[in-house]
């Protein structure tokens, strides 16, 4: 009695967890609840979302609504216990459903195809009838031949005076769905591995500095096990526009006191060492930093020469007696459209410019701005050239630092899913029976063929295929019987 | 002939085709149908030419700022799928392509009356949203080979979904019997509002100067009608819309009669809805979700970060997975699944435009 009850409960639960109804329900809830997290800003400062909520609920109610939402986990909802539980339920549903149905599919695929009685054959979804005035054997040979040519492996059965040819193609297409479902489970597994054994952090590394830790978004240190140094950071702009073309930094990996790796990283081209990957993700100015002006000096007709100077320092243009002194710097120089006055329009180095005072024996003193993005501003009278290569040491490179040992699994799952989807949607399991017999049993009258077929999907295409096969066979048969 | 002239020609042809398809629905004259199809093909050919010319121009544009870039790399980077304007144009192109394929395969012309309005809306949106049509330099995150395949496949998927939307809408219209049925009210009112907004945007467009047009969506939306300074205009707009929507509700069943008298059956529409989703779903999964994730991983080091754009693609994916299971295994038929197909496409529109215009995100084109 007890035993039976237990079994019933187990069967109930199994039926529930394997049902497609549950899948439909979970999908609806997942879709609807996911919307919340796209409206409420995730993992943001409370003030931001309170402002947002005030638009819907009014200023006075917003803080209270915020508290309720926060309790429900809406502020970080994709990591909330209930959302993760939904995903878990979804995966269990998928796994149980697979275990429930897979054996049936396997049996279906394994069971060899057998002949069908003619009356059963006539009830199949796809059917067709033809007559030929020729011998049974000619008809059989030609049809078998055409089917073999179309990659149907033909089997043959004889009963009484009738011959039946039958065949199936693409039985493995039945596995497509399982491959897709498996890939979903693998993606979730990969995500779990990533969360459990990997990390995501960031590191703002000023030019010239080195670090052996990264930071979580909460500010905690993550030891790297080696150190990474930023040689330089540079934003490249499209010519004549304030639109960035590229963000680049040169990174050096130091392990055990030795330089082991050096790479210039860009947005779509990160650096990976010992499973930890450094991505170019942002940049900025180090507060209150002073750096070096890197100038490239080329006297008219002479060789260029790179020099590093601090603010206020001077340099000579070789062989001319002209001295330059650095007197001012602007990270983003522009000219006011109305007044024509020079001004700085951004804090970041969008359009860096250095002001240099030139003087020398017997020369008129003057001060000019030299812009990094417009090298022509550095051409002096007499053809000498001073270029601003960089103001080095004042910018940091913003690195996204992550380790994700689950990524390879995700990539494999992506490939599996693509294959599975292709099989599930574009391939089908087709079965075909062709009965060949004389019109009236025993007689020598016309030969009648009755065709019946079924397919797991895309019936219309299968019907066309059969028609095509039969018309080819008819041609061949008629050709042979005329001889 | 430059690219934008050819494109304008194709836009005109599509809009003309839309009108002729609707006339065809009403008069059922074969010649009219042939004209509608030919107009669509003409539009498609000129748009294809416009697309190729733009690609060539964009190729030289890319080379100008990246002189060291190789042939294949430049070709990939220059593919005209790089901003909102270009992707909308490509969406229209794919939609028409898939529509033409179905028209020839299933020999049903009337579907054109439901698919071309989707194209016309996208075209109208291009003009009135003020999105830039210039060839723009590519921002760093977009300089990836994944981008091209990601956008290409995702938009082919969207276009297939667009066709399923047209078929599902026609299906819903066909099977609703009485004016009191919820589904009848659903489609007639939605269609009414949709057309009112469309007409309103058209009036805006005609009454604005070229400069104002550029920011229609941001600041002049329905300024000429519902949001006019003059109270009289506002009242007339509301009245006119009310009359219009009621008229559609009152006479909408004629459309159903017209549809039933054509050679299409509800079953056929249901089949087309399913077929186009069966094509759209794998394309969207592969292009939209998987390649998007791979690209994000190579650019930002995270294949999934739950930003609004990603999440809305996932929601869209859930809705279509729902459709497939409800119909293929759950045994849902008829109205319920057709409504799901409509909802799926509304999710597509939101993923694509809503997130950019309404929500902001990590890789939203709109923020740029
Ligand atoms: C979003 C996640 C899912 C995706 C992308 C997915 C994908 C698919 C696809 C592509 C098919 C084939 C449909 C066709 O041939 O037209 C399918 C069938 C099916 N799916 Fe899913 N599926 C998902 C979730 C689930 C879940 C959670 C269940 C759990 C019950 C489930 C149960 C089934 C069943 C029973 C079939 C029919 C299999 C058969 O042909 O015998 N699916 N699924």
B312 with A38: Cβ contact below 8 A: yes
pLDDT band of residue B367 (cuts 50, 70, 90) is very low
Same-domain check for residues A86 and A128: no
Of the partner residues A78, A238, A279, the one whose CB lies closest to the CB of residue B137: A238
Same-domain check for residues A126 and A153: yes
Position in ligand 1 atom list of the atom nearest CA A19: 30
| A69-73, B154-158, B197-201, B250-254, range with greatest mean pLDDT | B154-158
What pLDDT does residue B362 have? 35
> Smallest CA–CA separation between A345 and chain B, in Å?
19
What pLDDT does residue B216 have? 60
Same-domain check for residues A61 and A202: no
* CA–centroid distance for A313 within its chain: 51
Same-domain check for residues A380 and A354: yes
Each residue of A90-123: pLDDT tens digit?
999 999 999 999 999 999 889 889 888 888 888 8
A5: Cα within 13 Å, side-chain hemisphere = 2
Residue B199 has pLDDT above 90, yes or no: no
Each residue of A310-347: pLDDT tens digit?
888 988 888 788 888 998 998 888 888 888 788 888 88
B325 Cα to the center of ligand 1, angstroms: 6
Closest CA to A393 of A308, A281, A296: A308
pLDDT band of residue B358 (cuts 50, 70, 90) is low
Quote the domain boundaries for residue A228: 183-286+396-405
Contacts of B279 in chain A (CB under 8 A): 425
A28 with B322: Cβ contact below 8 A: yes
Last residue of a domain, one of A107, A135, A155: A107
Contacts of A177 in chain B (CB under 8 A): none
Position in ligand 1 atom list of the atom nearest CA A93: 29
Here the ipTM equals 0.85
Each residue of A137-185: pLDDT tens digit?
888 888 999 999 888 999 988 887 788 999 999 989 999 999 999 999 9
DSSP A72: T
pLDDT band of residue B147 (cuts 50, 70, 90) is confident
- Residue A413, in any domain of the structure: no
Burial class (CB in 10 A: 0-12, 13-18, 19+), A223: exposed
Residue A321 CB contacts under 8 Å (≥ 6 apart), including other chains: A360, A361, A363
Q: For residues B42 and A211, give the distance between their C-alpha atoms in angstroms, rounded to a whole number.
A: 62
Same-domain check for residues A61 and A155: no
Same-domain check for residues A261 and A116: no
Each residue of B313-352: pLDDT tens digit?
999 999 999 999 998 887 777 888 999 999 999 899 888 8
* Mean pLDDT on A198-218: 90
- Residue A364, in any domain of the structure: yes
Query: Could you tell me the residue ranges of all domains in chain B?
Result: 3-367
Same-domain check for residues A263 and A336: no
Each residue of A380-401: pLDDT tens digit?
888 888 999 988 888 999 999 9
pLDDT band of residue B365 (cuts 50, 70, 90) is very low
Contacts of A214 in chain B (CB under 8 A): none
B290 with A418: Cβ contact below 8 A: yes
B140 with A246: Cβ contact below 8 A: yes
Residue B364 has pLDDT above 70, yes or no: no
What pLDDT does residue A36 have? 86
**Tally of structural domains, chain A:** 4
* Mean pLDDT on B51-66: 85
Return the C-alpha torsion angle A101, A103, A107, A108, nearest 10: 20
A181 Cα to the center of ligand 1, angstroms: 7
What pLDDT does residue A139 have? 87
A453 Cα to the center of ligand 1, angstroms: 25
Q: Which of A27, A101, A172, A180 to mutate to test the pocket of ligand 1 (most atoms within 8 A of CB)?
A: A180
Three-state SS sequence of A287-299? CCCCCEEEEEEEC
Same-domain check for residues A334 and A195: no
User: Searching chain B, which residue's CA lies closest to the CA of residue A268?
Assistant: B299
What pLDDT does residue B215 have? 61
Same-domain check for residues A400 and A251: yes
Position in ligand 1 atom list of the atom nearest CA B281: 10
- Residue A345, in any domain of the structure: yes
What pLDDT does residue B363 have? 36
What pLDDT does residue A212 have? 92
Residue B368 has pLDDT above 60, yes or no: no
What pLDDT does residue B347 have? 93
B137 with A241: Cβ contact below 8 A: yes
A21 with B322: Cβ contact below 8 A: no
Read off the tokens for A42: 């995730």
Same-domain check for residues A14 and A62: yes
- Residue A20, in any domain of the structure: yes
Does residue A276 contact residue A198 with C-beta atoms inside 8 Å?
Answer: no
User: Searching chain A, which residue's CA lies closest to the CA of residue B286?
Assistant: A418
- Residue A410, in any domain of the structure: no
Same-domain check for residues A296 and A351: yes
- Residue A411, in any domain of the structure: no
CA A380 to each of CA A313, A372, A387: distance values in angstroms, whole numbers, following the listed order: 19, 15, 11
Last residue of a domain, one of A83, A107, A131: A107
Same-domain check for residues A150 and A241: no
């Amino acid at each position: 009695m007890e035993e039976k009850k237990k079994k019933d409960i187990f069967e109930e639960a199994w039926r529930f967890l394997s049902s497609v109804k549950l899948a439909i329900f979970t999908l609806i809830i997942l879709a609807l609840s996911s919307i919340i997290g796209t409206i409420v800003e995730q993992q943001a400062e409370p003030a931001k979302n309170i402002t947002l909520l005030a638009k819907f609920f009014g200023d006075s109610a917003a803080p209270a609504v915020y508290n309720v939402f926060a309790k429900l986990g809406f502020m970080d909802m994709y990591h909330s216990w209930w959302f993760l539980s939904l995903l878990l339920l979804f995966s269990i549903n998928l796994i149980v459903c697979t275990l429930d149905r897979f054996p049936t599919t396997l049996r279906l695929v394994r069971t060899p195809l057998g002949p069908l009685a003619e009356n059963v054959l006539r009830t199949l979804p796809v059917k067709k009838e033809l007559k030929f005035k020729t011998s049974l054997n000619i008809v059989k040979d030609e049809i078998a031949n055409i089917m073999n040519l179309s990659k149907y492996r033909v089997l043959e059965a004889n009963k009484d005076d009738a011959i039946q040819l039958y065949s199936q193609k693409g039985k493995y297409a039945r596995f497509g769905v399982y491959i897709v479902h498996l890939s979903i489970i693998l993606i979730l597994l990969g995500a779990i591995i990533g969360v459990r054994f990997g990390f995501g952090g960031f590191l703002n590394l000023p030019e010239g500095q080195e670090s052996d830790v990264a930071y979580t978004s909460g500010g905690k240190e993550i030891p790297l096990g080696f150190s990474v140094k930023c040689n330089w950071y540079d934003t490249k702009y499209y010519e004549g526009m304030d639109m960035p073309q590229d963000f680049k930094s040169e990174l050096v990996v130091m392990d055990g006191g030795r330089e082991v790796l050096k790479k210039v990283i860009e947005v779509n081209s990160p650096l990976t060492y010992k499973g930890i990957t450094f991505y170019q993700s942002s940049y900025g100015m180090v507060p209150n930093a002073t750096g070096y002006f890197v100038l490239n000096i080329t006297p008219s007709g002479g060789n260029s020469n790179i020099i590093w100077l601090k603010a206020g320092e001077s340099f000579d243009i070789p062989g001319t007696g002209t001295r330059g002194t650095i007197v001012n710097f602007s990270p983003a120089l522009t000219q006011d459209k109305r007044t024509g006055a020079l001004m700085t329009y951004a804090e970041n180095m969008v359009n860096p410019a250095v002001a240099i005072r030139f003087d020398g024996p017997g020369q008129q003193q003057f001060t000019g701005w030299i812009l990094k993005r417009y090298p022509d501003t550095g051409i002096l009278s007499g053809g000498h050239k001073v270029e601003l290569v960089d103001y080095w040491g004042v910018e940091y490179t913003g690195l996204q630092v992550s380790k994700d040992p689950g990524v390879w699994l995700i990539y494999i799952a992506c490939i599996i899913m693509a294959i599975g989807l292709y099989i599930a949607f574009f391939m089908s399991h087709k079965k075909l029976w062709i009965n060949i017999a004389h019109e009236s049993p025993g007689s020598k009258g016309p030969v009648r063929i009755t065709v019946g077929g079924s397919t797991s999907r895309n019936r219309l295409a299968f019907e066309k295929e059969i028609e095509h096969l039969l018309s080819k066979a008819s041609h061949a048969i008629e050709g042979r019987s005329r001889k | 002939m430059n690219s934008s002239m050819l494109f304008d020609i194709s836009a005109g042809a599509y809009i003309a085709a839309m009108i002729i398809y609707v006339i065809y629905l009403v008069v059922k004259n074969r010649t009219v149908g042939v004209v509608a199809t030919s107009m669509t093909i003409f539009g498609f050919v000129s748009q294809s030419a416009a697309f190729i010319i733009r690609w060539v121009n964009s190729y030289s544009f890319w080379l100008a700022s990246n002189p060291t870039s190789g042939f294949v790399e430049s070709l990939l980077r220059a593919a005209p799928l790089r901003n909102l304007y270009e992707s909308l144009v490509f969406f229209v192109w794919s939609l028409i392509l898939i529509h033409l394929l179905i028209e020839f395969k299933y020999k049903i012309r009337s579907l054109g009356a439901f698919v071309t309005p989707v194209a016309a809306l996208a075209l109208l949106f291009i003009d009135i949203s003020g999105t830039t049509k210039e060839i723009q330099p590519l921002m760093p995150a977009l300089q990836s080979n994944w981008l091209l395949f990601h956008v290409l496949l995702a938009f082919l998927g969207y276009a297939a979904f667009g066709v399923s939307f047209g078929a599902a809408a026609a299906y819903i219209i066909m099977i609703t019997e009485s004016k009191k049925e919820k589904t009848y009210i659903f489609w007639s009112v939605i269609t009414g509002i949709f057309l009112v907004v469309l007409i309103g945007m058209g009036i805006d467009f005609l009454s604005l100067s070229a400069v104002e047009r550029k920011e229609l969506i941001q600041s002049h939306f329905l300024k000429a009608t519902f949001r006019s300074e003059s109270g009289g205009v506002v009242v007339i707009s509301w009245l006119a819309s009310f009359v219009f929507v009621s008229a559609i509700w009152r006479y909408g069943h004629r459309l159903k009669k017209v549809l039933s008298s054509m050679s299409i059956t509800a079953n056929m529409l249901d089949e087309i809805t399913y077929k186009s989703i069966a094509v759209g779903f794998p394309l969207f999964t592969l292009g939209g979700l998987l390649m998007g994730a791979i690209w994000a991983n190579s650019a930002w080091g995270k294949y999934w970060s739950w930003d609004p754009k990603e999440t809305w693609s996932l929601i869209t994916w859930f809705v279509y997975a729902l459709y497939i299971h409800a119909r293929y295994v759950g045994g849902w038929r008829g109205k319920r699944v057709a409504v799901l197909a409509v909802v799926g496409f509304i999710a597509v529109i939101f993923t694509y435009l809503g997130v950019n215009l309404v929500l902001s995100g990590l890789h939203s084109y709109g923020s740029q």
